[in-house]
Chains A and B, each alone.
Chain A
Amino acid sequence: MIDASTWRPGADLATLRLRAELLARIRAFFAARGVLEVETPLLSAAAITDPHLASFATVYAGPGPRYGQTLYLQTSPEFPMKRLLAAGSGCIYQIARVFRDGEAGRRHNPEFTLLEWYRVGFDHHRLMDEVAELATALLEDRLPLAEPERLSYQEAFERYLGLNPHRTSVTELADCAERCGVSIPPGMPEADVDPWLDLLLTQRIESQLGQGRLCFIYDYPASQAALARLRPGDPPVGERFELYLGGIELANGFHELGDAVEQRRRFEAENAARQAQGLPVMPVDEHLLSALASGLPECAGVALGVDRLAMLAAGKTSLAEALAFPFERA
């Protein structure tokens, strides 16, 4: 149903001006550091295999050899940007529109703006330094921020829930949820600890992270490494990080996995998990795998949610107030 007032923007004019200013300052930040701005396709024949991400799809009507082919809107520009890195681009950034089906709420819009950048020769810790510099530069005149905080995933669980996430069990996590009053969703798996860790993280930890300061969580369980490289050890960890401010997740970064064989194994494992859950199996990005095989430079990369950053900078509490036209009005 169309309400006559829904043609109006979600964000007020001051917030739209602030968005424009943030984008200009982001571009100035990277220009000063010699990081190259790039643009890559939004539509691709390949898609993300992560079972927790759903891609929008469309069918190309021709002409050309791709006639009739299903194409997917990107959930992040990661794969083509890594192809550029493998081709020798050096450090690059992109401000890209990304699309995620099934994600809508106060802090989610099915399409949103990601700032994604890659730094050749950085590891995830050095990249966290730069993320902190950028976020501080963008926010300091609007939000007073104390020194950034850095907690390993393990330290966060120990501090807020008193348990070690690398040496836990479904039984311990379920007891913990019960003890701290988290309602346990029906149908939680009995063998896989990750959904239980996600439950406790989202229901009991996240809201406490980044109060009055940037808070980085790093070194995730190997099973949650996504596209990050694994650091062997006891326990092995994924060299991945997330940035939180005011309890809101703002960025996700990786010390990037460059091993084509391992990357293929992860894609296939994710597709197998999709099949087991009755989700569609997605076409793996063979271009990315070829690029990795030809050699990805040592690098770290991160994606930062620009709309959430604008929301926080503007002192708003919902994403709809930081978007010209939120999904419901699109």
Chain B
Amino acid sequence: MANYSTNEFKSGLKIMLDGDPYAIVENEFVKPGKGQAFNRVKVRNLKTGRTIERTFKSGDTAEGADVVDVELQYLYNDGEYWHFMDQQSFEQLTADAAAMGDSAQWLKEEAICQVTLWNGVPLSVAPPNFVIMTIVETDPGLRGDTSGGGGKPAKLETGAVVRVPLFVQSGEVIKIDTRTGEYVSRVKE
């Protein structure tokens, strides 16, 4: 990968630090009245999600990280790995549990996911922002309650559990916002 000078730093740039890939979140140029200038940089570890602060002497370089975001189709889970396919090249890629994080619970087969690759290997997987799923288990709610307040837990076909309004019943199909893990609406089939 190319090296980047601090003069090329900007938010979103992916660089290597201590063997891990990081994304630059914030870059600030600081210089005393006379003397050495520095870049104070906030970076997010793309493996752990943790944000830390680093300082560079202005003009120094950092190695670029080979990190790209691609859209892949989720195929299946073999018990240990999650398998994805590039719909253009038909190349198949596998992601481990660390890369999947909490995303696995939102994936139904054929879902199109945003997958971040580091050196060609999935580093993290983002499910679609909205998914449609069937409720497999929830307590029978009170008929006539349409307020949506309170709510109850409902187990979905993938095993995920979300809070739904009391009037939503087992066997119904619902829409969920995966970024918040919240129920959005019922879906008419």
- Give me the interface of A with B, judged by CB distance under 8 Å: 50, 52, 102-108, 182-188, 194-195, 197-199, 201-203, 206, 224, 226, 240, 242, 249, 252
Is the Cβ of A52 less than 8 Å from the Cβ of B34?
yes
Closest chain A residue to B54 by CB distance? Answer: A183
Is the Cβ of B37 less than 8 Å from the Cβ of A185?
no
Nearest CB of B to A168, in Å: 16
Closest chain B residue to A206 by CB distance? Answer: B32
Bound state CA distance, A199 and B30, in angstroms?
10
Residues of B within 8 A of A224 (CB): 34-35
Partner of A249 from B33, B37, B58, B59 at Cβ < 8 Å:
B33
Is the Cβ of B28 less than 8 Å from the Cβ of A105?
yes
Bound state CA distance, A53 and B38, in angstroms?
13
Nearest CB of B to A174, in Å: 13
Nearest CB of B to A254, in Å: 10
Residues of A within 8 A of B32 (CB): 198, 201-202, 206, 242, 249
Nearest CB of A to B142, in Å: 53
Nearest CB of B to A256, in Å: 15
When A182-B55, A183-B54, A199-B55 are in contact, do A104 and B33 touch as well, CB less than 8 Å? no
Q: Is B48 an interface residue (CB 8 A)?
A: no
Residues of B within 8 A of A104 (CB): 29
Is the Cβ of B55 less than 8 Å from the Cβ of A183?
yes
Residues of B within 8 A of A195 (CB): 35-36, 57
Partner of B31 from A108, A183, A226 at Cβ < 8 Å:
A108
Is the Cβ of B38 less than 8 Å from the Cβ of A185?
yes
Nearest CB of B to A251, in Å: 8
Q: Is B139 an interface residue (CB 8 A)?
A: no
Q: Is B40 an interface residue (CB 8 A)?
A: yes
When A104-B29, A108-B31, A224-B34 are in contact, do A203 and B56 touch as well, CB less than 8 Å? no
Is the Cβ of B55 less than 8 Å from the Cβ of A102?
no
Q: Produce 1/0 per residue, B53-87, CB < 8 A to A.
A: 11111111000000000000000000000000000
Q: Is B119 an interface residue (CB 8 A)?
A: no
Nearest CB of A to B140, in Å: 55
Q: List 28 A-B contacts (CB under 8 A).
A: A50-B34, A52-B31, A52-B34, A52-B36, A102-B37, A102-B59, A104-B29, A106-B28, A106-B29, A107-B30, A108-B31, A185-B54, A185-B60, A186-B57, A186-B60, A187-B57, A195-B57, A198-B38, A199-B55, A201-B32, A203-B38, A206-B32, A224-B34, A224-B35, A240-B34, A242-B33, A249-B32, A252-B33
